[in-house]
A and B are shown apart, each in its own frame.
Chain A
Amino acid sequence: MRNERGGTSGLVSRAARIGEEVAAAVADDVDRRARFPVESLDAMRAEGLLSILVPASLGGKGAGILETAKVVAALGQHCASTAMICAMHQIQVACLVRHGHNDHLRAFKEDLVTRQPLLASATTEVGVGGDVRTSVCALERENGRFRLEKQAPVISYGEQADGVLATARRTTNSPPNDQALVLCTPPNLSLKRVSDWDTLGFRGTCSPGFVLEASGDEACVLDDPFDEIASHTMVPVAHVLWSAVWLGIASAAVERASAFVRAEARKKPGTTPPAALRLAEVSALHQQMVELVFGTARHYDEVSQDPETLEGMGFAIAVNGLKVSASTMVVEVVGRAMAVCGMAGYREDSPYSMGRLIRDAYGAALMVNNDRIIANNAQMLLVHKDA
């Protein structure tokens, strides 16, 4: 299964090589110990993969979201935690690239190319029930500077990040939905860890809760309001790149099932192994997932400069549909791939083991719960017209 590479793009080949040579070697240890995949991140930095979305005019690669999704999927075939960290970082970079216009943020984008800092996200907050479009905390602004304290129930790889993009009410007088996005960086950033991260899957993302305290120049606040950042960039890019991670997991499962059936077939040439039929079925489902994820990524690249489309309900519904579908399909694909391998897939000590893949796959529907996303679509469909 090499559909994800989809061509000979240099970036995707580099990511695939890092996946095979670095991420695959440490994936089980990362998972077992719930530790950060530092080797993979070092390799990504060495290849400049943390700045691929920065425009060429600022020294980056000017990659699109389709190419970035292929990079993420290539990593996801070998270590889902590595791929998810890459995806979440690229989402932050996309927000900065498209919505951070002032000189300070422009300089930071150039910094991304030279220093390859890793960016984390603090959007959810204690007390908002998972609704990232409302904030309790607020930017306290005075004399051209801001100060922020935020109770974050989850900041993925917070302890390993070189910066955090956080949402907050725009001012202390703003209502909960009038939000801004601010870049918080050391030395004016402190993260006090308040919980642990011991989960079924995605264990290497190291995502405990923190109390975030930050201050800095007001120029660290992204120029566009958060609702525009969310609808134009953060939500669509997140749903595409998360889905690319899940696609990587699904591809790994199908690859293992395929290797299992080939080995069976070699034992009895001339007879098609019974599991080959099940493999053909799961392969077709996987193909749907490939087209869904990369098709939506391609569509985003086509409309990414068209605010009318990005703000339309049809686009929001489609992007939400992607998240719900891909997160459901990954569980289905991995489960069916395990059935192909039988006990060899159920065992933890076999080359066809599906254990880690299944545990990672079940996280997909829970990170930003599908029920919340389906409820959002249900509401939009009350007024949305063309299907």
Chain B
Amino acid sequence: MDEEIRKVLAEHARLPVDVSEMSDRADLYQAGMTSHASVSVMLALEDAFDIEFPERMLRKSTFESIAAIRGALTELTSSGEKSG
């Protein structure tokens, strides 16, 4: 899962740093991810993992680090909250 998340971030987060060198807990926004870029990341994650982020997850904290994204995806894929 982490590899896929990092791939999405590398393609869509438009970070000025190399995603592969970032730690799980590093703050993506402080690393330069704008709110515009974060929407692209959300869409790409929804496509890559075949899920839909419910409204309650559409906030900054859900996407603030690789660990946070993994937590949200784990919750969605295990609870069966999949898109139809």
Instruction: From A29-37, A72-80, A81-89, A172-180, give the one contacting chain B.
Output: A172-180
Name which of B3-11, B18-26, B30-38, B71-79 contacts chain A. B30-38
Q: A175-B16, A379-B39, A380-B39 are in contact. Are A385 and B58 (CB under 8 A)?
A: yes
Q: CA–CA, A325 to B74, complex, Å?
A: 40
Question: B23 CB to closest chain A CB, in angstroms?
Answer: 17
Q: What residues on B are CB-neighbors of A379 within 8 Å?
A: 36, 39
Digitize B21-61: 1 where CB-to-A-CB distance is under 8 Å, 0 elsewhere: 00000000111111110010011001000001111001111
Contact between chains at B29 and A178 (CB < 8 Å): yes
Let me know if B55 and A227 touch, CB within 8 A: no
Rounded to whole Å, the gap between the CB of A138 and the closest CB of chain B is 14
In the assembled complex, A384 has its CB within 8 A of some CB on chain B = yes
A195-246 interface with B by 8 A CB criterion: 227, 231
Taking chain B's interface residues, is the majority helix, strand, or loop, or is none over half, making it mixed?
Answer: loop
B-facing residues in A147-186 (Cβ within 8 Å): 174-178
Q: Which 9 A-B pairs have the closest CB atoms?
A: A175-B32, A385-B55, A311-B59, A313-B58, A177-B34, A383-B42, A178-B30, A379-B39, A386-B55
Residues of B whose CB lies within 8 Å of any CB of A are: 16, 29-36, 39, 42-43, 46, 52-55, 58-61
Ordered by A's residue number, 20 sampled pairs between the chains whose C-beta atoms are within 8 Å are A133-B34, A174-B30, A175-B30, A177-B32, A177-B35, A178-B32, A227-B29, A227-B60, A231-B60, A311-B61, A312-B58, A313-B58, A314-B55, A379-B36, A382-B39, A382-B43, A383-B39, A383-B43, A384-B58, A385-B54
